[in-house]
Amino acid sequence: MKKALVVFDTNVLVSALLANDIDSKEVKLLEYINTNIITPLYSNEILLEYKEVLSRKEFGFTKKGVGDLISRFKKKGVLITPHKLK
């Protein structure tokens, strides 16, 4: 089976990490990274946005937790270089 290539919206990550329901769609998407069903696509700009948003005090995520998530994207994902449209 061919893996899906996915760019994660930051809001999806926040929803997954805050979810009380382990069967929520957002949580399942993160699990699919670990089970190699999907491959996340990311750019350096996207990772910076993830880090900035997930580090907000209102969410209460630890610095280590945010770092681990970003490391997982780097390990399991594919770095892309966005090009500006003309």
Phi-psi region of 19 (alpha: psi -120 to 50; beta: other; left: phi over 0): beta
What residue ranges do the domains of the chain occupy? 4-79
Q: What is the pLDDT along the chain (86 residues), one digit of tens a residue?
A: 678 999 999 999 999 999 989 899 999 999 999 999 999 999 999 999 999 999 999 999 999 999 999 999 999 999 999 888 88
- Whether 1 and 12 have beta carbons less than 8 Å apart is answered as no
> Cβ(3)–Cβ(36) under 8 Å?
yes
Q: How far apart are CA 3 and CA 11, in angstroms?
A: 22
pTM of the model: 0.88
Distance CA(17)–CA(22), nearest Å, equals 10
